[in-house]
Structure 1
Amino acid sequence: MKKIEIDDELYHYIASNTQSIGENATQILRRLLNLSPVSASNKEQNTRIKEAKLDVKPDVITKIEDNTESKTTDIGPADVFNVLNKEELAMQKGVVGRFLFILSALHRTHKNRFSKVLEVKGKHRIYFAMSKEALLDSGSSMNPKNIPESEYWVMTNSNTTRKKLMLHEVAILLDYNETQAETLRDFL
């Protein structure tokens, strides 16, 4: 089996066509291209090669219909679950690493609306800003961190419960339903 690199738009398309939990990219593409499933003799060979599973939940998948153009600037509320990879998430260093990883996935999925995170605030300080200095100016002990692959910064010097509340609020602002927001929060 060969490895190939694909861009984010293609990855999202493949992931959005997942029909069952644990279905891998090869199975999805074979189905979409009307090719026969992998034969039993090929399965033995495939077990030696670790394939990345598309870890998505069927009830939160947004399908992209054939013959339609996809505008990928803002994919849709359910698609962050297609972007989040539980194995990569587990490899992040501590709660702060997972927190930043989830926020980065939300940013990639919702670039056009991610500025809504700036509305998430505490009583006396802001949690998100466009610069490190803005966070530092709003309070002491902020420990600001850049959200990877974005221009946004987040306060990370809070307990895990506060970070979960922040993730939940961000998810709601980005139009996730309560169940999806709780699922996202529990990834932390």
Structure 2
Amino acid sequence: MNLPNKLTVLRVIMVPFFVLFMLTDLGGDANKWIALAIFCVASLTDMLDGKIARARNLVTNFGKFMDPLADKLLVCSAMICLIPVGKLPAWIVIIIIAREFIISGFRLIASDNGIVIAASYWGKFKTVSQMFMIILLIADFGGIFVMIENVLIWVSLILTVVSLIDYIAKNKQVLTQGGM
């Protein structure tokens, strides 16, 4: 297993630890900071694995499959954890997760037809905005940051919908060729 794939697997392994510190008192008053540190490190592995894979020509089918899945696990887990603490409305999380299911299904149909759907820039912007949103929501600095958090929530939601429309518009042949 190459380094980018190990980083992807590490990100998946970090998710339950992140959730543990978000939803329990295991670390006491340090819980949110431990969860935040785990989330930040996991997010950095997302950036690093792709850069390393492309730079060293280590792109694999495992990486193409697991990298977006690891991202979805991390980001969706974080957003779900932010619902009970009142930092993120459930309806927004439902829309964002629904988009992830739709795109995953879309990619499966494409894959059955020998088509690989690469991540678009809209999808990458969506992921980055969601990660920054999650970091600020976990840190909960208060003050002016509350306004920034709210802006990032709306930007993330808008980019989620725009990236969904972009994926479908650019790859609508998948739906017509997929036997649907």
Same fold (TM over 0.5): no
Larger Rg: 1
**TM-score, L = length of structure 1:** 0.30
Higher helix share: 2
Which protein has greater RCO, CA pairs closer than 8 Å, 6+ apart? Answer: 2
Higher strand share: 1
**TM-score, L = length of structure 2:** 0.31
